[in-house]
Amino acid sequence: MPQFFLPPSALSHRPVIIRGADARHIADVLRLQVGDWLLLCDGEGRRYEAVIEAIRPLKVQCTIRREVPLPRLTLDITLAAAVIRPERYEWLIEKAFELGCRRLVPLVTERSVKKYLPKDPVAKLERWRAIALSAAKQSGLPWTPQVTEILALAEILNDAQGHLYYCWEGLALAKGSPQRGAGGARWRRPPVEAGSTERCGSLFRACWEPAEGGGRGFPPPEVCEPRRGAPSPGPATLLLIGPEGGFTSTEHDAIMAYRPTLLPLGPLILRTETAALTAITLIQRQFGYFS
């Protein structure tokens, strides 16, 4: 059943009137007729089943029959994904919202390719939001999708809310890596309070302890072990996905200072858009989205 977004004030009127581009889409693209059904959403989590009563040019009149229960969406996921090649980033946006992402933050990093950053940020943001809205309509997302302006990593971390997940490519290379990295840096397990029962299935946490002069390396396999217990990230979840060149060591250290949960995505190195969608799917599965 096709879904359309209307402001709550429009849904409070009887009959409900759909105008403009959505009305044209109903009549000319979907070719719906009087008596056909629609889903109408207020963008704030409430959805209604409605029947078409009349169709005119740029105006569709509907009558609400009942409120529809919300789909099971337990997490409020914000995806902060580095901006990549335009056509691939648009595909990422579409699929992320189809998978239940609530908002997307375009991320610029030290290794972002400058030619991929929009020359007209206002026009590009408008296009990204249109793609997100189309995906929300298609998938039945019960809230208006949000796409923010482009932000730097520091801005995202400073405003981070909820549980932070970090997809770091170093986890894919952890097996067989040395205990110490360049410059004598080493990995250690984070301290765990006595009696802690934390667990996160296939999710892992580790923290970086640099030696003097810095250094970089990968955690040994024994560090990458499940935590005990069952975490509750709460409704707010922030997922960080870097560019295809990865985050720099400075960015990596800044992220690790927030003690994120490291999310392994398998033994292979994935493209940014593939990593983003895989990570969303893993997190959603962990907390019952596919149950």
The answer to whether residues 172 and 232 touch, using CB atoms and an 8 Å cutoff, is: no
Tell me what pLDDT residue 172 has.
Answer: 54
Q: Which of 166-175, 178-187, 219-228, 272-281 has the highest mean pLDDT?
A: 272-281
Q: Could you tell me which of 147, 231, 221, 232 has the C-alpha nearest to residue 189?
A: 221
Q: Is the pLDDT of residue 140 over 50?
A: yes
Q: Is the pLDDT of residue 49 over 50?
A: yes
Tell me what pLDDT residue 170 has.
Answer: 65
Q: Which residues pair with 146 in a beta bridge?
A: 103
Q: Is the pLDDT of residue 183 over 70?
A: no
- Confidence band, pLDDT 50/70/90 cuts, at residue 206: very low
User: Which tens digit of pLDDT belongs to each residue from 28-44?
Assistant: 898 999 999 999 999 88
- Confidence band, pLDDT 50/70/90 cuts, at residue 244: confident
Predicted TM-score (pTM) of the model is 0.75
Average pLDDT over residues 219-234: 39
Query: What whole-number distance in Å separates Cα of residue 121 and Cα of residue 150?
Result: 8
Number of Cα atoms under 13 Å in the Cβ half of residue 232:
2
| Span 3-68 CATH architecture | Beta Barrel (2.40)
> Kind and range of the H or E element at 38?
strand 37-41
For the chain, the distance separating the N- and C-terminal CA atoms, rounded to the nearest angstrom, is 22
- Confidence band, pLDDT 50/70/90 cuts, at residue 74: low
3-state secondary structure 39-93: EEECCECCEEEEEEEEEECCEEEEEEEEEECCCCCCCEEEEEEECCCHHHHHHHH
Look up the CATH superfamily of 76-286.
Answer: SPOUT methyltransferase, trefoil knot domain (3.40.1280.10)
The answer to whether residues 286 and 200 touch, using CB atoms and an 8 Å cutoff, is: yes
Residue indicated by tokens 């840096």 = 185
Domain ranges for the chain: 3-68, 76-286
Q: Is the pLDDT of residue 257 over 50?
A: yes
Measured CA to CA in angstroms, residue 46 lies from 67, 69, 222 at distances of 7, 8, 46
Average pLDDT over residues 116-128: 95
pLDDT, greater one: 290 or 55: 55
Computed from CA positions of residues 172, 173, 177, 181, in that sequence, does the dihedral angle turn out positive or negative?
Answer: negative
Tell me what pLDDT residue 54 has.
Answer: 94
Phi/psi of residue 185, nearest 5 degrees: -65, 150
Measured CA to CA in angstroms, residue 153 lies from 104, 219, 252, 257, 262 at distances of 13, 23, 10, 13, 17
